[in-house]
Structure 1
């Protein structure tokens, strides 16, 4: 079954109607609110990871960011000392991808946290574990962060394997919260870190999940259609080894296109897939109208790109333009133009004080990088 996008207002209305029959209603509402509240926090923490090398100015068009969200529905008023999350990554996007398969969890009377598998530059595999509001740790490779809140972020360079199932445990004992990863193929467990939280932090009571592609800076993606192929299974989480949460999922974000991303759940797990379209835009990509035999002008493209990161010009017999004049790249930083040429005649592109011929069957994308239109596929 495929779960389409929800809005907070629609979800609240739905759950209030079912108030007397659905004991999970409050946690379900909270998960939507929490996801929105934590998006900026998690992106800022990712910037602190020492191995990413992503601090230079953006030079391409898209930060994909969050793509898939997974809601967990726990029994109303449940509070726990342990939560276990289950992940199996079947496709990881390849060595140029930066995916984070995360599980968020929250403390009664405290702040939020997350734990999950990552792939990083050059094929490095890791586990990321962070808690907001924490200030110290007892073990692990950790550091303090101070952007949009404060907390402790820990990492474990860990060679997790595609196709293996993993369990990620967080256990609270007093003020110490321990993160552990277990490869379920051999049941070998590895401690990630022990983080100390304030005494005001109570038990674990809510959670959710997400998948994001966090490539930034010089490694940023030219378009949404260049994301590496990804497939992941999130099995239903378990609290205190006995209580099983239900899950729903939806897709969202800058690259939310049904040709790019799919997500669905059954009674025991949620699965998501991101398709590598090889920089071929989907039919849902924004496009510009083509009048047969007439030039597409700089002003037309500049206007179209004012509200979009990418515009597709689809050519075919009866809808063919002999000339496309690109606007100045410096006036439209990090924007992209795709020419999908299916007409029987060539089209001449005017850009960078030169011309380029696009023949039948070609699909080319140009991105404005450092004041110049550059071919990116």
Structure 2
């Protein structure tokens, strides 16, 4: 039963900036430098229209700075190729511009309907102080130049690389919790340099949403794969659990104490951890934090939230986020 005054919220909110989630390391022969690096990517799930994902390949120049080239899902069905180099002087070709956030340099991009499931070959090719960024659809053979960027004369050849996956939704597009991040899956094949030298790869998960039930990653000798799961209003098993004393009301202070060092907690009710009443703390002191309720007990519990009382029964899984004024219920997806 949903009582009047209980506000509903779409899965998007201001709670979590997921940011970087997966990081890839590349191991090249020691001391070598190259005029060309080639990266191969295949996106199995792009996250859909609400997601903002960047599948990036980073590269670095001997004696200079670095850049990245990769595929983006910019949300609302917009796909793009993105290519940037820090401390670049300018550009000779492409839809490019100077940037000054997170350092300075030149960014080039193309909004293009790249296809889920296709393998894309992304290359950076250095000729003198000009670096061309290209992308080739390995399924269709079509090649596009993203841009040609001009470097300072002090930049040497390419000598290292890495990769990452990030979810960069901002503002009203942020998610209510790590459990609500849109699902994605992708494969990074071992990169190549020069005339065919292959790097070895390793992969790790990290960041605000580094949760084994939200993100997984692994490598074999040829490629690294990763996936991010959308759990919706269901709390991950790694979310901090609020201590419930069986057959005793759960007070607001207990939940407050649990939220003191994390952005989300879960109240799990079962046959030996049932509370007849659950009292949410004031939303004012927990802005953009989340509380999950996972009811598995046989007896009904009463949830006291926003001045109202909600009946919660076995099998119900609820999620709330504070906007600083009220606890808003997140709609199941």
Fold conserved between structures, TM > 0.5:
yes
Partners in 1 of 2:324 and 2:107 — Cα distance? 34
1:173 aligns with 2:127: yes
Structure in which a larger fraction of residues adopt strand: 2
Matched, 1:298 2:252: yes
Aligned residue for 1:123, secondary structure, equals coil
Asked if the contact 1:133–1:150 (Cα under 8 Å) also holds between the matched residues in 2, the reply is yes
| Rounded Cα–Cα distance in structure 2 between residues aligned with 1:121 and 1:89 | 15
Q: Give 1:76 deviation, angstroms.
A: 0.5
CA distance, structure 1, for counterparts of residue 178 and residue 313 of structure 2: 24
Alpha-carbon distance in structure 1 between the residues aligned to 2:66 and 2:263: 32
Aligned to 1:205: 159
Give the match for residue 227 of structure 2: 273
- Asked if structure 2 preserves the Cα contact closer than 8 Å seen for 1:247 and 1:265, the reply is yes
Match 1:150 to one of 99, 104, 113 = 104
Q: Aligned partners of 1:226 and 1:86: how far apart in 2?
A: 29
Residues 104 and 112, structure 1, Cα contact 8 Å, conserved in 2:
yes
Match in the other structure for 1:349: 303
Matched, 1:137 2:91: yes
The answer to whether structure 1 residue 325 and structure 2 residue 289 are counterparts is no
CA contact (8 A) 2:285 2:324 kept: no
Q: 2:200 is matched with which residue?
A: 246
Q: Tell me the TM-score normalised to structure 1 length.
A: 0.83
Give the aligned partner of residue 52 of structure 1: none
Task: Indicate the structure with greater helix content.
Answer: 1
Report how far residue 144 of structure 1 moved.
Answer: 1.4
- 1:241: Cα distance to partner? 3.2
* TM-score, length basis structure 2: 0.93
- Answer whether contact 1:59 1:370 (CA < 8 A) is retained: no
The CA distance in 2 between the partners of 1:253 and 1:59, in whole Å, is: 19
8 Å Cα contact 1:60-1:368 kept in structure 2: no
Instruction: Report the counterpart of residue 3 of structure 2 in structure 1.
Output: none
Cα offsets for 1:171-213 (capped at 9, x unmatched)? 1111111111100001110010111111111000000011111
CA RMSD after TM alignment? 1.3
Matches of 1:280 and 1:245 in 2, distance apart? 39
Distance 2:319 2:285 in 1: 18
Partner of 1:99: 53
2:293 to 330, 339, 347: 339
Deviation digits for residues 87-133 of structure 1 (CA, Å, limit 9, x no counterpart):
00011111111111000000000011011001012010001111111
CA distance in 2 between counterparts of 1:142 and 1:330 reads 44
Q: Does 1:257 align with 2:211?
A: yes
* C-alpha distance in structure 2 between counterparts of 1:299 and 1:280, whole Å: 23
Do the aligned residues in 1 keep the contact of 2:39 with 2:191 (CA within 8 Å)?
yes
Matched, 1:187 2:141: yes
Runs of 5+ in structure 2 lacking a partner?
A: 1-11
C-alpha contact 1:260 1:277 (8 A) present in aligned 2: yes
Bigger relative CO (Cα 8 Å, ≥ 6 apart): 2
Report deviation, 1:370. Answer: 4.7
8 A Cα contact 1:315 1:340, kept in partner? yes
State the secondary structure of the residue aligned to 2:114.
Answer: coil
The Cα of 1:59 is off from its aligned counterpart by 4.7
